[in-house]
């Protein structure tokens, strides 16, 4: 019953693919029956399987932390390749805004030579920071460092001195929330029911976070320049 429902939900081809992946992931704590039932209920496969390949890494996942997207994988790899192609005389400092699972900085750390990157990821979500920290331990970026810190970059006072986040940075990355209110209401339930709205909703026009990033990057954030250097070198 569950199987045929799933086949009609996903289509034959997609079902065949997902079924193989599920069978490979079967374990004593995750039986096939449970996976199928959760999938029929609409839960994203990535959360059921608990991990997602991202470049050469396997990123641990847990609802509601945002599932890494293939577009992000694509540009993060390109960025790493571009960075790797130039020689650097000292380690690069990197800040990832809204780090979620930590996938972006962890990917870059794993693709660059040891000792060439020191990365920090910030996220407003406690669950994200916890998950990103777990991923950092799992991926062990071989001589490059990554740590996750809880903060909101919409906060006008970001970065607070006690965060340990010290601008300026060589690289600032972000896959910020960019979905507008109107678009959010049209999203499929596999997104809205399971992924953190804070990771998706970017304000009425979806651009709130882009404004924040632009302001941080150009130092136009605060009247008091004492607290804000330019975020970028």
Q: Which helix (H) or strand (E) holds 67?
A: none
The answer to whether 233 contacts other proteins (rule: CB under 8 A) is no
Number of Cβ within 10 Å of residue 183's Cβ equals 14
The answer to whether 209 contacts other proteins (rule: CB under 8 A) is no
**Residue 148 backbone phi and psi in degrees, to 5:** -110, 140
Q: Which helix (H) or strand (E) holds 2?
A: helix 2-10
The answer to whether 54 contacts other proteins (rule: CB under 8 A) is yes
**Residue 191 backbone phi and psi in degrees, to 5:** -90, -55
The answer to whether 55 contacts other proteins (rule: CB under 8 A) is yes
Any bridge partners for residue 60, and if so which? 51
Q: How far is 129 from 126, CA to CA, in rounded Å?
A: 5
* Interacting span for other proteins (CB under 8 A) from 43-51, 89-97, 118-126, 223-231: 43-51
Any bridge partners for residue 146, and if so which? 119
Among 175, 212, 213, 228, binds other proteins (CB under 8 A): 175
Q: How far is 69 from 164, CA to CA, in rounded Å?
A: 28
Q: Report, in Å, the least distance between residue 172 CB and other proteins.
A: 19
Among 73, 117, 173, 231, binds other proteins (CB under 8 A): 73
Inter-residue contact 4 to 10 (CB < 8 Å): no
Residues 6+ away with beta carbon under 8 Å from 198: 124, 125, 177
The answer to whether 193 contacts other proteins (rule: CB under 8 A) is no
The answer to whether 75 contacts other proteins (rule: CB under 8 A) is no
The answer to whether 183 contacts other proteins (rule: CB under 8 A) is yes
The answer to whether 69 contacts other proteins (rule: CB under 8 A) is yes
Among 8, 9, 21, 150, binds other proteins (CB under 8 A): 21
Name the site residues for other proteins (rule: CB under 8 A).
14, 16-18, 20-21, 23, 44-46, 52-56, 66-67, 69-74, 77, 175, 177-179, 183, 187-188, 190-191, 194-195, 199-200
């Amino acid at each position: 019953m569950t199987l045929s429902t799933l086949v009609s939900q996903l289509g034959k081809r997609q079902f065949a693919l997902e079924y193989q992946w599920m069978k490979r992931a079967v374990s004593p704590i995750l039986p096939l029956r449970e996976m199928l039932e959760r999938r029929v209920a609409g839960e994203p496969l990535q959360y059921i399987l608990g991990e997602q390949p991202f470049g050469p890494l396997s990123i641990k996942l847990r609802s509601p932390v945002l599932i890494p997207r293939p577009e992000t994988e694509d540009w993060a790899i390109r960025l790493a390749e571009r960075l790797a192609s130039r020689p650097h005389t000292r380690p690069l400092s990197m800040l990832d805004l809204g780090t979620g699972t930590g996938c972006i900085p962890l990917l870059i750390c794993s693709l660059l030579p040891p000792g060439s990157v020191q990365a920090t990821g910030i996220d407003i979500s406690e669950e994200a920071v916890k998950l990103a920290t777990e991923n950092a331990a799992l991926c062990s970026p071989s001589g490059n460092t990554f740590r996750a810190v809880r903060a909101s970059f919409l906060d006008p006072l970001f970065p607070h001195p006690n965060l340990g986040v010290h601008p300026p940075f060589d690289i600032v990355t972000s896959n910020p929330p960019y979905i507008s209110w109107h678009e959010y209401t049209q999203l499929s339930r596999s997104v809205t029911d399971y992924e953190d709205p804070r990771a998706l909703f970017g304000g009425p026009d979806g651009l709130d976070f882009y404004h924040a990033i632009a302001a941080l990057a150009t130092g136009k954030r605060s009247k008091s320049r004492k607290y804000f250097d330019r975020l970028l070198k």
